[in-house]
Amino acid sequence: MTGLAIKRLHPSIGAEVNGVDLSRPIDAPTRDALNQALGEHLALVFHDQSLTPAQYVEAASVFGPPMRQHYSQHNMADHPDIGLVWHRNGQQPAERWHTDHTNRERPPAATVLYGVEIPSSGGGTSVANMRAAYAALPEDEQARLATLSTVNMLDGHTDTREDDRRKYDVPIVHPMVRTHPVHGSRAVYFHVQKAKQIEGMSPDASLQYMNDLLERMIRPEIVYHHVWRKGDVLVIDDRATMHRAHGDYDRSQSRVLWRVIAEGDRPTLV
């Protein structure tokens, strides 16, 4: 762990990690320190990394075992645990606030993104601290949210392969507030497009309430905006954040991120 240094990037969320070369094996004390830092800061940035696909998957596994992504049409052919985030083949930027893969029984602990091709401007990624969002809600709404659960399935992407639908489009129920297994704090937790409804509410009422929550909760003071540089690795804690892409870049330029999703625990509220 010699040389590891962590510098806060934003008062609410985000830290820069220095002294770690992700292309090399990471020892147990450094792994523990990075997981503790992720639980505390919720987004970690590593600059100036140079990784092969195999090195990248190994580095991402620091935060949990890689889990296969359900947009397999965009997975790297020789390394299917790596998803390609790009605008090629009709893929659209995920510009709505979300947390990844809530349709899984053990959804991600972390989303790990690696900047491979970066446009000259725009195309950033924003991450919101949903722990702070929860804490800022009135106590009566905190109490109400703690009683609610969402029913999660795949969202409505028309290009999802039939095999992915068979494997991953199965209803999974998760609480709308979850306790972070490392930090011990509570955070709001849902994916508005994968949550087909809140239990006990109609789909329309569920959607209206979730959209209203997002509008009220996510404010600039709890958001870290990452401006990509080639070679950046951004690690996002899916257990206590939401994130979104920004499509404000020239489509004649390439924006290619590699994505690995690290499996986490089943969400619980304690």
Given a cut of 70, whether residue 112 has pLDDT beyond it is yes
- Phi, psi angles (nearest 5°) of residue 41: -95, -20
Q: Which fold has domain 5-263?
A: Double-stranded beta-helix (3.60.130)
Cα separation of 170 and 167, whole Å?
7
Question: Could you report the per-residue pLDDT of 45-66, keeping only the tens digit for each?
Answer: 999 999 999 999 999 999 999 9
- The pLDDT value given to residue 90: 75
- Number of CB atoms found within 10 A of residue 202's CB: 10
pLDDT of residue 159: 76
Q: How many angstroms separate the CA atoms of 59 and 31, rounded?
A: 10
pLDDT at residue 2, rounded to an integer = 64
Q: What is the pLDDT of residue 168?
A: 86
At 228, is the secondary structure helix, strand, or coil? Answer: coil
Across the strands, what pairs with 18?
5
Task: Give the pLDDT of residue 1.
Answer: 58
CB 17 within 8 A of CB 44: yes
Q: Both tokens of residue 260?
A: 């690995």
Residue 37 pLDDT exceeds 80:
yes
pLDDT band of residue 106 (cuts 50, 70, 90) is very high
Neighbours of 203 (CB within 10 A): 12
Q: Tokens standing for 207?
A: 């959607």
